[in-house]
Structure 1
Amino acid sequence: MEFFIDTANLSDITKAQELGVLDGVTTNPSLMAKEGITGSSKILSHYKEICAIVNGPVSAEVIGTKYDDMISEGKILADLDEKIVVKLPMTSDGVRAVRYFSDQRIKTNCTLIFSAGQALLAAKAGATYVSPFIGRLDDISVSGLDLISEIRLIYDNYMFNTKILAASVRNSAHILGCAKIGADVMTSPLSAITSLLNHPLTTSGLDQFLKDHLQAKNVAAQPV
């Protein structure tokens, strides 16, 4: 499973890249605004900075909701860097735009997926990625992981090449659940990724190793 980080924070992206497990980045207008990045020129410049840090795909979301606006914005985004994946909403116009960019061999990420039917439409349109939002489904007492499982079954049945990019991933349990089910990609904040590092037995085991090493060193240093 590929690991993407869901943020527009350059520091977090750099830390994830340095950890050695980062495969790509996803962003959205809300994440840009959180970092104080507003205005078209600043947003485009920020995408370039992100692409300079990472080696993998960077999902950049269109703002327009109409087909023509999505096409014009998507072309601008795609021209920024070959790593850019044009992120489009799961709407009628969004699916049409997915097909357009797919025909142009431009990678797409169809976002705001909340049902298997939506994921099926996006795959039929040629989306490179679909982004089911598992955390937001959990918020309304619907299993987000069950949706991942349903999409996996459908895609495997018909050998779709579209990758399942699990989004709204909030914790290590979400990440492991996605890995068990067979999501191709998961995207989460840095905190969820680094939470996988932690286990109390790892901490206590390392402490014991260091104590034993220090004791052995002190014994060896004593005069005979």
Structure 2
Amino acid sequence: MKILLDTSDVKAIKRISGMFPVWGVTTNPAIVAAGGVPLFDLLPAIRDAMGGKGTLFAQVIAPTVEGMIDDAHKLRERVDNLVVKVPVTPSGLQVIKELTAQNIPTLATSVYGAAQGLLGVLAGAKYVSPYVSRIDAQGGNGPEVVSELQALLSTHAPEKELVAASFKSPRQALECMLIGCKGITLPVDIFDLFIADPAVGIAVKQFEEKWQNTFHQENL
């Protein structure tokens, strides 16, 4: 499966990419605004932090069809293999359809329902991202929506990929992995929590102490 980071924190991207094969990095307008770095400066910095590898995702922001298409072209001029994120709205579906005709890859985002997500990929999006924790916050069941959408894709668009997003806990992400998501995009803090169990550090320290007490050396 593909694990992506959902962040504009270049230092964190570099740190995690150094220890794990991160497949890509996603951003959205809110994440970029929170970081304070202009998007067209940020994207090359993210690419460099990943060692020139991986796939970048960035979202259009214009309110009109024409504006979103123009945004997409500007993003692709900055990073030529970038995947353009487009919200699944009536205007967004038009944009996805047009960009697909131009051979520009897209991710259908702001997805809160399985049928909505399916429309995004049938319009041409290569990827689709349901918002797991946001669905939960509205009284829905995020993992259930992911499961339904995954089933729809398997039946109607098996070549498309579900990239679950919007997580508030490692458990939410794990549930989506168990469902069979081909990809998940994690905030940095959630990624770190997967390997932050205090018991792990205690076990490693015990191994080191017993080894050093017996052999009086730190290495093999």
Establish whether TM, by shorter chain, passes 0.5.
Answer: yes
Distance 1:64 1:100 in 2: 15
Q: CA deviation at 1:199?
A: 3.6
Q: CA deviation at 1:141?
A: 2.5
Distance 1:170 1:149 in 2: 18
2:31 is the counterpart of 1:31: yes
Structure 2: give runs of 5+ residues left out of the alignment: none
Question: TM-score scaled to structure 2, two decimals?
Answer: 0.92
Of 33, 43, 66, the residue aligned with 2:39 is 43
> Bigger radius of gyration, 1 or 2?
1
Distance 2:16 2:141 in 1: 28
Flag as ranges the 4+ runs of structure 1 deviating above 4 A.
Answer: none
The 5 Å alignment of 1:120-159 reads: 120-159=118-157
Q: Specify the code of the residue in structure 1 equivalent to 2:2.
A: E
Distance 1:11 1:207 in 2: 27
Q: CA deviation at 1:214?
A: 2.1
Question: TM-score scaled to structure 1, two decimals?
Answer: 0.90
Q: CA deviation at 1:200?
A: 4.6
Alpha carbons 1:86, 1:108 under 8 Å: kept: yes
2:8 is the counterpart of 1:12: no
Residues 114-147 of structure 1: per-residue CA shift (max 9 Å, x gap):
0011111011111011110001111122110001
Distance 1:185 1:169 in 2: 13
Alpha carbons 1:58, 1:85 under 8 Å: kept: yes
Q: CA deviation at 1:83?
A: 2.9
Distance 1:45 1:204 in 2: 41
Distance 1:77 1:124 in 2: 23
Q: Give the number of aligned pairs.
A: 215
Per mean C-alpha deviation after superposition, the further-off stretch among 191-200 and 81-90 is: 191-200
The 5 Å alignment of 1:140-179 reads: 140-179=138-177
Structure 1: give runs of 5+ residues left out of the alignment: 219-224
Q: Alpha carbon RMSD of aligned pairs, Å?
A: 1.6
Alpha carbons 1:67, 1:97 under 8 Å: kept: yes
The 5 Å alignment of 1:47-66 reads: 47-54=43-50, 55-66=53-64
